[in-house]
Structure 1
Amino acid sequence: MAVSLSFLLILPLITGSESVKTITKVSVKMGASVSIPCSYDLKYRNHVKYLCEGFYWGFCSTQVRTDSPRETGKYSISDDKTQRIFTVTIKRLTADIYFWCIVEIKNGVDDGQHFHLSVTKDTPILWVADQNVTGYIGDNININFNSATSGGIQWCKLGRTCVTQETGEIDGTAVTINKAADNVCSVTMSGLKQKDSGWYYCVKGDFQMPVHLTLTVKPTVAPTTVAATTTVAATITVTGARDNTTTGHKENSPFPALMSLAIPLSVLIFIVIATLSILFVLRRTKRVRIKDSTASKNEGDLTYSEVSFKKNKAAQAASDADMTYSSVVPVKKHNVRMSEGKDEDVTYSTIIHHK
């Protein structure tokens, strides 16, 4: 009986599930994070999915579920029901560990598939700079994979077919696998279509590395930018016969665009400076005129009166107390005729002679 129970616990680890699929083994650097995709059949679209940690199915520990908080500590989960793939992310890995991608079956036995994370302090056996790659519909995309060992790779789409040769197709999209130097392999997908979005994985020996490809519509170039680019290209074509390398560099140079902005900006600055100069001169001229007018007005408002007293020879011997007084009284002039003058318009001057 004990033998039969052990066999039942190990059986799912050997066979796996046909309804739930995932990668089998990933090499990860200690302390890093990794995302693992798990595909499922259409019949499981509305079922709860969860991540279970442990080597044996019957004794694994549930870490995160889609029907509860989808992020708990170092674990997170998301479900793409359109492509029928749920993704689990495990952070801050410290040691080798086994997990299960599981779909919950109410009133029945749950369905799932296991995977192994091989954690190393050294360089991983197979790794990529970024698991999330973005491309444009209609363009080509190139993805580089680094490996600690030599040899070829395979390129697969999760739940679909694989390209095992240097060239092939996945869902009608051309795939080219190139072996580069220093144990770097590259995968090129040409003429991308919207349906090419999704999870892929690279295979090398016993290890796989999943990558998610997101495709968007390529942004259109503004008409003004197109016109500027066309002008630059035409100019470079005339001079490009002498140096093709320099021509290629000039086509991507931002200098013409900067010049197109600098010219109108310089004209605008000149106009502003000229306007300010004219205003300054006019204001200064106005101030001088006001000052001259004020001086003339004040000068016209003064009335001078002078009285001189001449002493005879006999009086020169008189006391120094003899004084001559002269008074100047400013009087505001009124715009009236002399014939209409009044007493208040008359200025009196008093002279006192002391003997």
Structure 2
Amino acid sequence: MSLLLILPLTLCLWIPACLCRVTTDEEFAVLEGRSLAIPCHYEPQYAGYVKYWCHGRSREFCTSLARSDDPRSSNLAEDKVSIFDDPVQLVFTVTMKNLKEGDSGWYMCGMEVGGMWSADVVAFTNINIIHGMSVVNSRLSGEEGSSVTVECLYSERYRESEKKWCRSGDWSSCLLTDSEGNYQDTSVAISDDRTGTFTVTLKKLQMRDTGWYWCGVGQQQISVHVLVTPRPSTTPGPVTSPASTENLPPPEPIAKQSWNPHSHILGALLVCASLMFFVGFAIFAKKMWNLHKQDVAQRQIEGVKARLNDCSGDVDDLETATIVFLNTNSQHSQVVV
């Protein structure tokens, strides 16, 4: 029975550590010889707890490097690893300086919760120390005629090496630093501080300077894109003084308003013309119909006259014909003319 009571109690003590945890980035990559700041964020209920930073992959085997309750951990200038807690922002920051290849590995942000049954609240991150180069900003833009500066970062082993600035795809364009780590001409200036950074300044930019470049050291190189934007036009536009507008004539009405009365007149004229056309066409058609009827009647009259003329010829023949009457009783013949 006692085990049944102890198990829930143990789980309850672990719940705060699971729900209210500390968080940080999962991975960091930094050049050899440079510094790194790691933020560890926590919940408000942990503001008064001790924070620590250790090197290791598990809680049981983690080498402590800095603690918020250790006075030496607040000396950011001298210590290689230091810790600073800001309870107002709810974050403690771990700073590691002058990183070496052997510093690569897993680290842990932790908070001591204390108590026999309470586990510390922790978060793990992996730090990778690399050799080579990086750049602060890989894409830069500047106005025509202005300047832009590229910050090229390199690892410690390349501190004394020659630095280069080249246009991508054109090895003949490479500019090299001298023994003092400098280069200078009218359009490009290179300066190496010998602490892990060299800067390249492109001066008096022109539109043809747009393109890909790379900064290099030894066999390492990193690409940078430069965009040159046109200079804005400064040509002033026409300026009209207030006095010059006083004597101007009033603006004419817009074309639509001035066209309206003319459009009505034109419409009326078109209607009248259409009516006149149809009336004239009707009169013309009527006249043509009457002429056609007269022509038919005339042809009929002429036909009748022709038939009558034929008949009159027969009558004349009858008038001149000799009629002979036969008298059967007297057996004499009588001729009538």
TM category, shorter: 0.3 to 0.5
| Higher strand proportion (structure 1 or 2) | 2
TM-score between both structures, scaled by the size of structure 1: 0.32
Tell me the TM-score normalized by structure 2.
Answer: 0.33
Which of these two proteins has the greater Rg computed from alpha carbons?
Answer: 2
